[in-house]
């Protein structure tokens, strides 16, 4: 059975009502007194609005994120609970971080400082300087067997408590989108953009007697704003989200994610003057299942199992964003050569979003890199054998290219704006030898000969094949060299070829040679 994709249907209307009106009704202290730690406006922002759908009050929340370290965390968001702890750890062999929010336990009064009731809505957020891998979450609730200690309940980790019926995990991936350049064309004024997308994975435990778990609904919204986005904005009822939806509401798609299935949401492209939030709203499926535990969910409004009628309560709202604090560098390599962009030198508290190693752009390629605004990049252009570098050309935001506007191969650029650069390489002019004033040389004598040709350079050298012959070159012009050739008494007789080498390593070999007598 294919997953239903419900676009701009009755389900869309229901979702908007539940997600936004419902979220505003289920207010929590975090909405009235949001707290943000660290620098909230950099890199990738990831935030949960999630309701407590366990069977008990809870006093904490845990987020596990693969593929990042504590040093990659730019800030955290919390409200009801205390500032979270961020710990480097390993999950099933994959390195990551464990972010734990929890209330304070009073051992004398045997009470917690605050609890989230069943159905209560809370907000949790993390700002990351690099794109993360798999993310999992779980509620932390007082352990009846060990009061004052929290145990995992529900969520997408294998906790020791109550498993919730629908269990999403999310993967956020990020990359770059570079301008398309037609064959023979030159990179234009389209800037490099960051690309962010999400994959929802249904990890719900198997239903009794079946191999797969229950299904859930997931709906995707893309919210675009010219404002800088902070973690505190990633709330279903934040002023930013409200105003954005009021201006232009985009419902990309709603999907039913069956047990043990996944679905990838559309990617959002982010330019330098816009922040984009991908919001995923997750709801329970309340309909029936067939004998294989496949949802009886129809897209036909007249069917008795019409999907929108099976929309259950809200499980969570997941939002990811990239702020306006980024810039793109586009590079086009024309001809034979490479350009290497080294990792940026980070301005204070601003980090490159995804750069962990030098980026190499090969011959005749178009490449892109997205980094933090005002990040400094070092570029080096290296010609291939037989080519020379002729210089940098600016195609976007001229004046922002730093020192990358000369024929010097190494340069530095500070990305205050998007910049597109072309590194041009051309075939090196060929050195030629067209005439030699003497065709034979005598052993034991020194003879001055004249070489006639093209593109000779001051400092050129002449080397004869074999041994026993030395030479001293006097540069006359680009078309003439005077060469004093000394032939040793024991030098072997016969034809000898010789090669002229310029200081820039361009060469020419005279294969007709001269005869040693």
Specify the CATH number for the domain of residue 451: 2.60.40.10
Host domain of residue 406: 326-427
Residue-wise pLDDT tens digits, 75-113: 787 778 888 899 999 877 888 899 999 999 998 989 999
Share of the chain residues as helix, strand and coil, in percent rounded to the nearest 5 = 10, 50, 45
Asked if residue 380 and residue 347 are part of one domain, the reply reads: yes
Q: How many domains does the chain have?
A: 3
* Token code pair at residue 226: 């010219």
In a domain, 485, yes or no: yes
Which of 219, 220, 218, 208 minimizes the C-alpha distance to 289? 208
In a domain, 233, yes or no: yes
Q: State yes or no: pLDDT of 466 exceeds 80.
A: yes
Residue-wise pLDDT tens digits, 15-27: 333 333 222 222 2
Q: Rounded to whole angstroms, what are the CA distances from 447 to 208, 444, 482?
A: 100, 10, 10
Domain boundary among 286, 305, 322: 322
Task: Give the predicted TM-score (pTM) of the model.
Answer: 0.56
Residue-wise pLDDT tens digits, 297-331: 887 878 888 887 887 766 666 666 655 567 788 99
For the domain that residue 348 is a member of, what is the CATH number? 2.60.40
Q: Rounded to whole angstroms, what are the CA distances from 272 to 40, 96, 327?
A: 18, 29, 5
Domain boundary among 370, 402, 427: 427
Q: Could you tell me if 305 and 288 are in contact, meaning their C-beta atoms sit under 8 angstroms apart?
A: yes
Asked if residue 205 and residue 257 are part of one domain, the reply reads: yes
Q: Of residues 145 and 332, which shows the higher confidence score?
A: 332
Q: How confident is the model at residue 264, as a pLDDT?
A: 74
Asked if residue 303 and residue 158 are part of one domain, the reply reads: yes
Q: DSSP secondary-structure letter at 171?
A: E
Asked if residue 49 and residue 26 are part of one domain, the reply reads: yes
Residue-wise pLDDT tens digits, 473-491: 999 999 999 999 999 999 9
Integer-rounded Cα radius of gyration of the chain: 34
Asked if residue 405 and residue 486 are part of one domain, the reply reads: no
In a domain, 184, yes or no: no
Domain boundary among 270, 297, 322: 322
Asked if residue 238 and residue 357 are part of one domain, the reply reads: no
Q: How confident is the model at residue 18, as a pLDDT?
A: 31
Which of 502, 416, 493, 492 minimizes the C-alpha distance to 456? 502
Q: Read off the pLDDT band of 166 (50, 70, 90).
A: very low
Neighbours of 458 (CB within 10 A): 11
Q: Of residues 226 and 355, which shows the higher confidence score?
A: 226
Q: Read off the pLDDT band of 241 (50, 70, 90).
A: low
In a domain, 393, yes or no: yes
Q: How confident is the model at residue 477, as a pLDDT?
A: 95
Q: State yes or no: pLDDT of 425 exceeds 60.
A: yes
Q: How confident is the model at residue 350, as a pLDDT?
A: 35
Asked if residue 135 and residue 25 are part of one domain, the reply reads: yes
Q: How confident is the model at residue 30, as a pLDDT?
A: 27
Q: Of residues 120 and 223, which shows the higher confidence score?
A: 120
Asked if residue 245 and residue 345 are part of one domain, the reply reads: no
Q: How confident is the model at residue 209, as a pLDDT?
A: 83
Asked if residue 83 and residue 111 are part of one domain, the reply reads: yes
**Whole-number average pLDDT of the chain:** 75
Q: Rounded to whole angstroms, what are the CA distances from 264 to 8, 219, 314, 482?
A: 19, 11, 20, 71
Q: State yes or no: pLDDT of 115 exceeds 90.
A: yes
In a domain, 306, yes or no: yes
């Amino acid at each position: 059975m294919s997953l239903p994709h419900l676009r701009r249907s009755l389900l869309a209307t229901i979702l908007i009502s539940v997600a936004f009106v419902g979220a505003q009704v289920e207010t929590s202290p975090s909405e009235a007194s949001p707290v943000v730690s660290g620098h909230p406006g950099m890199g990738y922002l990831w935030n949960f609005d999630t309701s407590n759908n366990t069977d008990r009050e809870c006093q904490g929340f845990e987020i596990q994120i693969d593929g990042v370290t504590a040093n990659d965390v730019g800030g955290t968001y919390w409200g009801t609970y205390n500032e979270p702890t961020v710990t480097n750890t390993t999950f099933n062999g994959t390195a990551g971080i464990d972010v734990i929010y929890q209330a304070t336990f009073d051992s004398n009064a045997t009470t917690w400082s605050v609890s989230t009731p069943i159905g209560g809505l809370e907000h949790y957020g993390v700002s990351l300087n690099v794109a993360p891998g798999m993310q999992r979450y779980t509620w932390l609730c007082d352990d009846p067997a060990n009061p004052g200690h929290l145990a995992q309940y529900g969520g997408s980790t294998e906790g020791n408590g109550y498993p919730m019926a629908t269990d999403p995990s999310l993967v956020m991936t990020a990359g770059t989108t570079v301008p398309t350049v037609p064959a023979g064309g030159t990179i234009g004024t389209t800037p490099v953009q960051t690309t962010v997308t999400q994959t929802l994975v249904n990890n719900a435990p198997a239903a009794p007697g079946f191999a797969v778990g229950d299904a859930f609904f997931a709906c995707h919204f893309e919210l675009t704003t010219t404002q800088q986005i902070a973690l505190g904005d990633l709330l279903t009822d934040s002023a930013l989200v409200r105003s954005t939806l009021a201006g232009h509401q985009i419902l990309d798609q709603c999907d039913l994610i069956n047990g043990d299935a996944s679905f990838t949401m559309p990617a959002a492209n982010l330019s330098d003057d816009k922040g984009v939030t991908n919001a995923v709203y997750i709801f329970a499926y309340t309909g029936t299942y067939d004998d294989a535990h496949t949802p009886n969910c129809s897209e036909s409004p007249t069917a008795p199992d019409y999907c929108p009628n099976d929309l259950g309560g809200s499980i969570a709202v997941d939002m990811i964003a990239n702020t306006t604090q980024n810039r793109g560098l586009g590079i086009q390599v024309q001809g034979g050569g490479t350009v290497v962009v080294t990792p940026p030198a980070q301005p204070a508290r601003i980090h490159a979003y995804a750069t962990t190693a030098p980026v190499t752009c090969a011959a005749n390629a178009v490449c892109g890199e997205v980094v933090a605004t005002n990040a400094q990049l070092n570029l080096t252009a290296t010609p291939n054998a037989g080519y020379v570098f002729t210089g940098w050309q600016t195609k976007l935001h001229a004046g922002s290219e730093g020192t990358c506007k000369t024929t010097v191969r190494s340069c530095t650029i500070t990305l205050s704006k998007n910049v597109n650069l072309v590194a041009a390489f051309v075939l090196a002019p060929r050195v030629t030898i067209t005439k030699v004033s003497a065709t034979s040389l005598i052993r034991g004598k020194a003879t001055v000969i004249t070489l006639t040709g093209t593109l000779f350079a001051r400092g050129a050298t002449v080397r004869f094949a074999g041994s026993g012959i030395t030479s001293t070159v006097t540069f006359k012009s680009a078309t003439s060299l005077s060469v004093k050739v000394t032939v040793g008494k024991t030098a072997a007789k016969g034809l000898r070829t010789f090669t002229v080498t310029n200081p820039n390593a361009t060469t020419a070999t005279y294969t007709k040679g001269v005869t040693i007598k």
